[in-house]
Amino acid sequence: MIHTGDHPFSCEKCGKMFSLQSSLSRHRMIHDGVKPFKCTLCETQFSRKSALQRHQRIHTGDQSFSCEKCGKQFSRQSHLSRHRIIHDGVKPFKCGVCEKQFIQKSDLQNHRRIHTGDQPFSCEKCSKQFNRKSHLYRHTRTIHDGLKLFKCDVCEIQFTWKSDLQNHRRIHTGDRPFRCEKCSKQFSQQSSLSRHRMRHDKVKPFKCGVCEKKFSRKSHIQKHQRIHAGCLRENPFNCDMCGKSFNHKSHLIQHINTHTGF
């Protein structure tokens, strides 16, 4: 069947076809909602044993798959395969709005939601919506489950995600492993580097609905919108010492220094 491409086993609910009866049986669990494999640490349940095994690497920290070019390690073969494309420099997927290019089609699809404002992933517990499935999963674990399995060995602050702990540790070490290839500026987090790259690419995906001015960061447009009276509260940051109000938090901090002398 590998050579012929034959898929004789069809799902009666969605029509998807499989080459093996066992593959069809596993697939049916998706429709039935059967999740017989439970994590003993956080009790998350899975429909497949392989999915549970991948999940358990979150708790064990196992990263068995290593890039032969830069030595970076990953918990999944698929993550390593996606990472290898970075070294090849191939970005075949281009945004039709801002022409930014991406290595993977899924990254382009996620990016397009910046322009469309689409948030297709909804939390079943509070109905909050997200533009990425990973953001919904992060929200559920952080807000509703409240799981914090990773503890900093320096200050003992606990985190839900291992990646958050790794980012936090750089506060103590001062490490900045992410370097901009255009200006060599270094950052402690990948997200900070990604935002910084927008300056070089001149990407401004956030547009003001009042004056249509564009911004590269969501926080910048939020500050800008306070200029338009009636859109948001004009001066939301108040000084606790004298009551004076400001439209930017940074302006409030500068003002407080006049009271404290710092």
Task: Quote the pLDDT of residue 232.
Answer: 46
Distant-in-sequence, close-in-space partners of 153: CB < 8 Å, separation ≥ 6: none
Q: Is the pLDDT of residue 233 over 60?
A: no
Q: Count CA within 13 A, CB hemisphere, residue 112.
A: 11
Task: Quote the pLDDT of residue 183.
Answer: 92
Task: Quote the pLDDT of residue 230.
Answer: 54
Cα 232 to Cα 137: distance, rounded to the nearest angstrom: 30
DSSP state, residue 42 = T
Q: Is the pLDDT of residue 129 over 50?
A: yes
Cα 93 to Cα 257: distance, rounded to the nearest angstrom: 48
Residue 44 · residue 56 · CB < 8 Å: no
Q: Provide the β-strand partners of residue 215.
A: 206
CA 217-223-225 angle, 5° bins: 105
Most confident region among 177-181, 190-194, 200-204 by mean pLDDT: 177-181
Token pair recorded at residue 12: 């009666």
